[in-house]
Structure 1
Amino acid sequence: MLDPSDPAFARDPYPYYARLRAQGPAARVALVNGTHAWLVTGYDETRAVLADARFSNVPPQGAGRPKPDSPAQRARACLARHMLNSDAPDHTRLRRLVSAAFTPRRVDALRPRIEKLADGLVTELTARLAQGRGTVDLVDAFAFPLPVLVIGEVLGVPEPDRDSLREWTYRVGSPADALPQGAVDEAWTRLHAYFTGLIEHKRREPGEDLFSALIHDATEGGLDDGELLAMAFLLLFAGYETTMNLLASATLLMLTHPYELAATRRDPARWDAVVEETLRHASPLEGTTWRRATQQVELGAGTVIPAGASVLAVLAAANRDPAHFPDPDAFVPDRYLPAADGTRAAPHAAFGHGPHFCIGSRLARLEAVVALPLLFNSLGTLPGLRLAEEPTSLPYRPGLLVRGPRRLPLTTAPAS
């Protein structure tokens, strides 16, 4: 039985996925909540499912555990109407409207602003560590705030509001038991109210940002208020969750692989390969959103998924499929360096595949290749820098959707 909230599973789900993969490309799994689902763990089969229209992204009515009516629950329901929960033609229309904001030209134009934001956070982080008093959590001080600030730029959130946005997103992305009672529900309600007000403001005073463009774009009928609210929520969370986990996991991997860190300091051009290998080895998105088989589908090797079944394509498992990645459990950035014979490693599936391929993948990569060298160049000036906890004891975010360390405590204090 699979319990996604089990801390041991969250910390290291890969042996479990390997056992599933040994049974075949997909396996029916009993979940701790009393339901069953099909988990797809093979690389080829994951890509096939994500490109197959027979697997619908639209959640069935009444999916999930029932929750009592409340302002927070109504906010959740409204903000869940995003394009990841839709199929063509609705998904095609919604994606086309937002894709113009993520063209290579527009994303690359954000580099100077990302550099400035990252430099400010790194300077503050280093100053706190240099005092040698206790620990500093890199997730809280760097990996989380940077992508929230960047997506705030993209959405056109006024700078004075970004601290509040950061706090609310932190709450709704945290396990409820890690916060005071009612804190998560309050954050959902405040997010709904904030984005409702932002839509009204952008209607009156549009800017050059993505949200203004979406509000005033009348092509294909534009977006109604409910779709705008859901789009804001999706872009906010997709804009920080993946990058936060990517930054935290890359930092942890480099600190625990000193040979790779030393090689990359000698040759900064290796940072691109470090980012790609982190995306493969420590997939920031553990799985895709849930899908439902609209008809019986044969995946091969005798595996037949029945109509109506819940299906999860596990990106983290696909990225460690030994049929495509030699020594899949090892962190080897060299596999993404240009080879003398022109061969290339298999493309990882960290950003998904098919119609729902992550629209912000270029932005996530840009933030990482800008921020990580700044971070390690600065940390390299601190004598005695180390992790304040054993890597194997660090808690990870529970669930099957996102994966990354919940905290990453650094210190310069001598070990006791």
Structure 2
Amino acid sequence: MTFSLDPADPAFARDPYPFYAALRAAGPATRVRLANGTSAWLVTGHRQVRAALADPRFSNVPKPNAGRARAGCPADPARAALARHMLNTDGPDHRRLRHLAVAAFTPRRVDAMADRIRQLTDTVLAGLSDRLHRDGTADLVDDFAFPLPVLVIGEVLGVPERDRADLRTWTYQVGSPADALPAGTTERAWGRLHAYFDQLIADKRRAPGEDLFSSLVHAAEPDALDRDDLLAMAFLLLFAGYETTMNLLASASLALLTDPGELAAARDGGPDRWAAVIEETLRHGSPLEGATWRRTTEDVDLGSDTVIPAGSSVLVVLAAANRDPEVYPDPDRFSPDRYLPGTDRAPGHVAFGHGPHVCLGARLARLEAQLALPRLFDALPTLRLAADPADLPYRPGLLVRGPRRLPVRPA
């Protein structure tokens, strides 16, 4: 059977799961023809996804010259810097970079951010409440799910308070669809982020702070990061730090707003219930739809007469694995009960990946959601959707997933 896919198709973006179910039924991995004329192998089963993510024959290193800057394009130096990040490395290079990042993201350091996250959440919620009072409606993505994690990443990077508004604006601009802003806006925002991070690194070298990024800037020899490594790390922390959490907050809010029973159970159930809501959202909503693109370094036999040839582009689809019916009964149903404490707790999901490239920011994303979601629904107990859930647009593509807009209003 031949499979074709247009990742930009709004219908696919809204509900990719029937397509992924068909791929799972076809075999451990399936070659898919993409709308841009290229082909890729998609791995969709839970067991096969975990195996591929831990298999060194699936390399994260991009093809040579990928991300190389072009003269005269303000966005390309930033994109080239981002292309150097540690998710695009394997072996010793990856272990060196990850070792440094792990030292910065210790559980103690992440958990110490809890009070500041509460303060930032209250600031964002005050703005959301003002918008609802003034306009009668608000967008839970633009007014809550996006600004909060950007502010938190500002804390991680040690961005001064005076620069936070600019960071939020530039991040919004580079993350917006190409046709959503005036021509040239996205390119200029990339360039401004690149210049800002370059200066931020120089400032941290001269006067380090207590932030996590300062510890990376001042990592001891022989593992010290050079300027290009630090630029790549800054971009990775920004985009990985806000994108996953933004989609987690938006998808969890949508799931609860469309299921009053689950919302009431969460509000009455305490921390364990909220933790279960978050884990089920990570499984059911998969803020990261696919892991970073990989290439096979040799032929890989996945069994069932499926051999992925050497040099193939491969996407390990986390969203598909998290709805594998062999692992999760009734996988398309949103049911936080799966992750309540007890002997019947569901198997772990792969929302943050698996293996050597598993997401370092998982603890921070969970912490933000565990603190922000109860505060949202406590502060705005009458919040309701202001649109038909079936009409909500989703982010296109194969790497991240979440609603682009989430209109809400008070009851």
Which category describes the TM-score, using the shorter chain as reference length? over 0.9
1:61 CA drift (Å): 2.2
Indicate the SS of the match to 2:21. Answer: helix
Indicate the SS of the match to 1:141. Answer: helix
CA–CA separation in structure 1 for the residues paired with 2:333 and 2:260: 14
Indicate the SS of the match to 1:150. Answer: helix
Q: 1:16 to 1:67 in 2, by over 3 A?
A: farther
Correspondence for 1:139 among 116, 141, 162: 141
Asked if the contact 1:36/1:310 (under 8 Å) is kept, the reply is yes
Matched with 2:58 is 55
Correspondence for 1:158 among 157, 160, 163: 160
CA–CA separation in structure 1 for the residues paired with 2:372 and 2:399: 24
1:71 CA drift (Å): 2.6
Matched with 1:169 is 171
Correspondence for 2:304 among 301, 304, 314: 301
Q: How does 1:5-404 map to 2 (within 5 A)?
A: 5-63=8-66, 70-131=73-134, 133-269=135-271, 270-339=273-342, 342-380=343-381, 382=382, 385-404=383-402
CA–CA separation in structure 1 for the residues paired with 2:17 and 2:360: 26
Per-residue CA deviations over 1:282-305 (Å, capped at 9, x if unaligned) read 000000110000000111222111
Correspondence for 2:404 among 386, 406, 415: 406
**Mean Cα displacement is larger for which, 260-269 or 306-315?**
260-269
1:63 CA drift (Å): 5.0
Indicate the SS of the match to 2:333. Answer: coil
Asked if the contact 2:104/2:213 (under 8 Å) is kept, the reply is no
Q: Can you give the 5+ residue segments of structure 1 that lack an aligned partner in the other structure?
A: none
Asked if the contact 1:268/1:373 (under 8 Å) is kept, the reply is no
- The number of equivalent residue pairs is 407
TM-score, normalised with respect to structure 2: 0.96
- CA-atom RMSD in angstroms: 1.6
**What is the identity percentage for the equivalent residue pairs of Structure 1 and Structure 2?**
69
Indicate the SS of the match to 2:325. Answer: coil
Q: 1:191 to 1:65 in 2, by over 3 A?
A: closer
TM-score, normalised with respect to structure 1: 0.95
CA–CA separation in structure 2 for the residues paired with 1:336 and 1:44: 20
CA–CA separation in structure 2 for the residues paired with 1:309 and 1:281: 29
Partner amino acid, structure 2, of 1:11: R
Asked if the contact 2:28/2:44 (under 8 Å) is kept, the reply is yes
Per-residue CA deviations over 1:308-339 (Å, capped at 9, x if unaligned) read 00000000000000000000000000000123
- 4+ residue runs of structure 1 moved beyond 3 angstroms? 62-69
Indicate the SS of the match to 1:71. Answer: coil
CA–CA separation in structure 2 for the residues paired with 1:37 and 1:377: 45
CA–CA separation in structure 1 for the residues paired with 2:210 and 2:67: 38
1:267 CA drift (Å): 1.3
**Mean Cα displacement is larger for which, 66-75 or 183-192?**
66-75
Indicate the SS of the match to 1:286. Answer: coil
CA–CA separation in structure 2 for the residues paired with 1:216 and 1:67: 31
Indicate the SS of the match to 1:335. Answer: helix
Partner amino acid, structure 2, of 1:257: D
**Mean Cα displacement is larger for which, 4-13 or 67-76?**
67-76
1:67 CA drift (Å): 7.5
Per-residue CA deviations over 1:350-393 (Å, capped at 9, x if unaligned) read 0000000000100000000000000011111x4xx321110111
Q: Can you give the 5+ residue segments of structure 2 that lack an aligned partner in the other structure?
A: none
